[in-house]
Amino acid sequence: MADSNRRRADRHHEQSAGSGRPPPLERQPLYERIYAVVRLIPRGQVATYGQIAEIVGGCTARMVGYAMAAAPDNVPWQRVVNAQGKISPRANHWGAELQRQRLIEEGIEFDAERRMDLARVRWSGPPREWLLEHGYPLEARDLPPDHPPGWF
């Protein structure tokens, strides 16, 4: 079933690729939508799994985690952390340590509990114009004034 869905998505992508325009959001594979957002996170900043899920729409923080585990080299996966400002444990201890080391190299500091100050290093998300241009949902960006950016 998953293979037939993937082939169908690939066919849609190929059909729209010839037009010179990106395929509509609903036809883009979920991981590619996640990766497009994660590529926007600046060096020295992080986003949470839930924050990325909220921006992308139609997925959960856990799905974002799976996408980060499968991320290609051109996706800064190390910049996605849990909502506690920590690196999520991995089956392979070295993956978590590699993520921590990469973040330290980007200037992110950790306290004695291996936590970063999310208030200081959390990315505020893509600009509204980028979301509109690329067909992402705006619900996360249309928050009432009592919800500051990055509240999720």
- Which residues are 115's β-sheet partners? 86
Q: What is the pLDDT of residues 94-104, one digit of tens each?
A: 889 999 999 99
Q: How far apart are CA 149 and CA 50, in angstroms?
A: 13
Q: How far apart are CA 101 and CA 105, in angstroms?
A: 6
Q: Return the structure tokens found at 141.
A: 């960006």
118 against 22, higher pLDDT: 118
Domains and CATH numbers, the chain: 25-134 (1.10.10.10)
Q: What is the pLDDT of residues 51-92, one digit of tens each?
A: 999 999 999 999 999 999 999 999 999 999 999 999 998 777
From the DSSP assignment, how many helices (H) and strands (E) are in the chain? 7, 2
Q: What is the pLDDT of residues 86-140, one digit of tens each?
A: 999 877 778 899 999 999 999 999 999 999 999 999 999 999 999 999 989 886 5
